[in-house]
C-alpha cells in the first residue's frame, strides 16, 4: 500500500515472516525520508515507529537470532 505525504510516496511492505496462528502478527515497513517506518498492518492509521537505519538493522538482527521471540 502506498500513501502520499507531501511530495514523498510512502510504500508499505508486509514483513515476509509476518503471520501467527491466525495471521494476526503482521508488521509492515517503509523507507521514509530519513528513517525506516514500522507499523501494525491491522491498524495502519494507528501510527508508526520511526527508526534510524542503524537501529532498524539492529532490530532485524535480534529478530533473526530469535532474541525477540515471546
pLDDT tens, residue by residue, 16-48: 766 656 666 688 999 998 999 999 888 889 999
Question: What is residue 28's three-state secondary structure?
Answer: strand
Domain count, the chain: 1
**Strands (E) located in the chain:** 2-5, 8-11, 13-14, 27-31, 36-40, 49-51
Domain that holds residue 23: 2-64
Q: Is the pLDDT of residue 53 over 70?
A: yes
Q: Average the pLDDT over 42-62 and give the result.
A: 93
Pairing relationship of beta strands 27-31 and 2-5 according to DSSP bridges = unpaired
pLDDT computed for residue 5 by the predictor: 59
Q: Does 6 score more than 70 pLDDT?
A: no
Predicted structure pTM score:
0.72
Residue at 13 is within a domain: yes
Is 28 part of any domain? yes
Burial letters for 38-52: b for 16+ Cβ neighbours within 10 Å, e otherwise? bbbbeeeeeebeebe
Query: Does 57 reside within a domain?
Result: yes
Amino acid at each position: 500500500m502506498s500513501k502520499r505525504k507531501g511530495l514523498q510516496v510512502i510504500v508499505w511492505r508486509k514483513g515476509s515472516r509476518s503471520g501467527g496462528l491466525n495471521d494476526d502478527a503482521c508488521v509492515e515497513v517503509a523507507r521514509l525520508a530519513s528513517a525506516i517506518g514500522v507499523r501494525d498492518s491491522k491498524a495502519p492509521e494507528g501510527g508508526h515507529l520511526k527508526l534510524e537505519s542503524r537501529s532498524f538493522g539492529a532490530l532485524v538482527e535480534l529478530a533473526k537470532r530469535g532474541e525477540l521471540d515471546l
